[in-house]
Structure 1
Amino acid sequence: MSKQLPAFQMDMKIEEIGAEGNRFLASEWRVLYESMHEQLTAAFLEIEDAAYGLFLDQLMPAVFERLEDAGFVVSEALREDDFVIGKNLIFRNSLEKWGTEDNRSRVFWNVIRNKEGQPIGTLLTDIPHSHLKFDIPSAPVLYTLRESVKEQIVQGIRQLKE
């Protein structure tokens, strides 16, 4: 990756964070995808969907680390049985209900808090992927919500995707 890292500042609104994150993802995902495609295609044959976690482990940490560097709190207390990819994408904080088997959509959510611990909104990470072979048909996309309560986040995701 050429690492045109995202630039976040503490005074950003959640929508600005999403826009800057999307700038980064749009500039980096394809190069990473192409560089890892052969390796991840082979991995998919053994570990299936977990191959996407290997991709996101390389793509997403820059977003979360730069948010933390700017003073935002992006993580939450983990449970013993949590499965985390991409540094801060927790499977219990995700939904996958949309699309066809060759172009599914899983949406993860992360409540973003300021340095005082107050939520400023939620960052949604939408990961398109295939269940039939290793394929990411289009760029991962960040969406934003002002809401920070799980029920409202789930409702916001459904409104976005349905």
Structure 2
Amino acid sequence: MSKPFPIFRQDMTIEEMSNAANRYIECEWKSLYDFMHKDLTAAFWEIEDAAYGLYLEQLMPTIFDQLENAGFSLNDELEETDFVIAKHLIFRNSIEKWGTEDNRSRVFWNVVCDKRGHALGTLLTEIPHSHLKFDIPSAPVIYSLRGVLKEEIVQGIRRIKEHGLNS
């Protein structure tokens, strides 16, 4: 599978970054899902939700690599007990509380900093998934928030998930 790299530049806003990431995901998510579906379905029966991590390990690193190549950093302060997938998705920095068992939504967050270390905003990665079988019912989505503090991020996620507002 050829990967159309998302293009990131230092002068981008957090909203422009999420738009570029979503263009990449839109091109890649379904073909990758179809390609991996049989193996991940088998894995789901053994490792349950961790099968989605195997999928994200293939989809998301390109986005994170391209952000870093453009001079951005993701403000990931790892703790010894952190569980991390796809290089930068930290379970401690995620929420899963929306949807039904066959169409749940987990949202991860990453604060993005410029090359001087100034926080520009937060990228949210939403992965829709089923707890009943291996299924990703729709494309993962990257949202943007201007806030960078945990309480602002959690409020922003709630606003997006409960009211469909992205800000």
2:6 & 2:131 partners in 1: Cα distance?
A: 30
User: Could you tell me the percent identity over the aligned residues?
Assistant: 66
Q: Which runs of 5+ in 2 are unaligned?
A: 163-167
CA deviation string 1:88-113 (max 9, x = no partner): 00000000000000000000000000
Match of 1:50 in 2: 50
Match of 2:105 in 1: 105
Contact 2:25 2:140 in 1 (8 A): yes
Paired residues for 1:91-102 under 5 Å? 91-102=91-102
State whether structure 2 residue 112 is matched by structure 1 residue 139: no
Q: Which runs of 5+ in 1 are unaligned?
A: none
Contact 1:13 1:120 in 2 (8 A): yes
2:58 & 2:161 partners in 1: Cα distance?
A: 26
TM-score normalized with structure 2 length: 0.96
Match of 2:41 in 1: 41
Shift of residue 86, structure 1, vs aligned partner: 1.3
CA RMSD in angstroms, aligned pairs only: 0.6
1:134 aligned counterpart, secondary structure: coil
Contact 1:91 1:108 in 2 (8 A): yes
Contact 2:75 2:113 in 1 (8 A): no
Shift of residue 75, structure 1, vs aligned partner: 4.2
Paired residues for 1:1-162 under 5 Å? 1-162=1-162
1:2 aligned counterpart, secondary structure: coil
Count the aligned residue pairs: 162
CA deviation string 1:66-121 (max 9, x = no partner): 00000001141210000001110000000000000000000000000001110000
Contact 1:71 1:114 in 2 (8 A): yes
Q: Which runs of 4+ in 1 moved over 2 A?
A: none
- Whichever residue aligns with residue 83 of structure 1, its letter is F
2:119 & 2:5 partners in 1: Cα distance?
A: 24
